[in-house]
Amino acid sequence: MKKEFAVIGLGRFGGSICRELSREGMEVLALDLDEDKVNEYRDIASHAVIADSTDENVLKELGFRNIDHVIVAIGDNIQASMLTTLILKEMGIKMITVKAQNDYHEKILNKIGADQVVHPERDMGKRIAHNIISNNILDYIELSDDHSVVEVKAGSKMGGQTLVDLDIRAEYGCNVVAIKRDKDVIVSPMATEEIKESDVLIVIGADKDISRFEKNLV
Ligand code: ATP
Ligand code: ATP
Ligand code: CA
């Protein structure tokens, strides 16, 4: 059976999720208080409805019980976001993803039982900051408060040398978990693997270690 999704709040973030899920052929119920927003998604989502998600009866009437994954993308109205999440949780929705507006909001969402809390502005800000530090830093993914994964172009500082030559784990406490070379991915590379300038390295480690690695080798 096909998975069913619902997106509550069709701002830029929720709207983008709705578009992408629909483009991928998923069944999506789009919901917003605002008539104009809903009209924008009539031809994109499987269903688009004008409704207030803080009204439990409305969500029940719309059949939210049968939805597998709900994305709550209400921004500024933190109270509405929390109340909606709480109602969905009480309805027994298996997977609830919520966009947090700030750290305080995030904390409460976790307490209420949101399965996934996302913080797109903050996370994208971090990614872009790392990309600004060096054009060779392609991506940056937070694993926890103090651990991350970075994707970096090897460049001239690392090209032509092996992992042993660079002694990355011993020197920086980070691990190269994979090397992307053209269409190939070398998972768990050998210490003797010679890095090419055009390689992309996937590096995992504590933020402070990654930071030293970025400063010295990227
Ligand atoms: P973005 O940054 O993603 O553009 P935002 O963070 O600025 O959005 P808002 O514009 O505050 O978020 O909210 C997103 C959408 O959520 C709006 O279109 C708004 O109408 C809708 N919304 C707010 N409260 C509710 C509610 N109780 N029920 C349904 N939709 C709601
Ligand atoms: P370690 O003492 O760090 O476990 P090791 O005894 O397993 O290393 P090798 O696997 O030969 O020795 O690696 C030698 C050195 O090369 C390591 O100490 C490390 O600094 C570096 N190195 C090897 N593989 C990696 C990797 N995947 N990521 C980062 N550094 C590596
Ligand atoms: Ca916003």
ipTM of the complex: 0.68
Residue 187 contacts residue 194 (beta carbons within 8 Å): no
CATH C-level class of 123-217:
alpha beta
Residue 163 contacts residue 195 (beta carbons within 8 Å): yes
Mean pLDDT of all residues in 153-168: 96
Taking the domains of the chain in order of start, what are their residue ranges? 4-118, 123-217
Q: What is the mean pLDDT of the chain?
A: 95
Matching fold, domains 4-118 and 123-217: no
- Split at pLDDT 50, 70, 90, the class of 183 is very high
Is residue 55 in contact with ligand 1, taking CB distance under 6 Å?
Answer: no
Angle between helices 78-91 and 103-112 (to 10 degrees): 20
Q: Which of 82-96, 138-152, 153-167 has the lowest mean pLDDT?
A: 138-152
Helix or strand or coil: residue 199?
coil
Mean pLDDT of all residues in 123-133: 86
For domain 4-118, give the CATH superfamily: NAD(P)-binding Rossmann-like Domain (3.40.50.720)
CA angle 206, 211, 215 (to 5 degrees): 150
Instruction: List, for residues 55-68, the tens digit of each pLDDT value.
Output: 999 999 999 999 99
Distance 73 CA to ligand 1 centre (A): 6
Q: What percent of the chain has pLDDT over 90?
A: 87
**Which is the closest atom of ligand 2 to the Cα of 203?**
28
Ligand nearest to the CA of 30: 1
Is residue 8 in contact with ligand 1, taking CB distance under 6 Å?
Answer: yes
Is residue 42 in contact with ligand 1, taking CB distance under 6 Å?
Answer: no
Is residue 52 in contact with ligand 1, taking CB distance under 6 Å?
Answer: yes
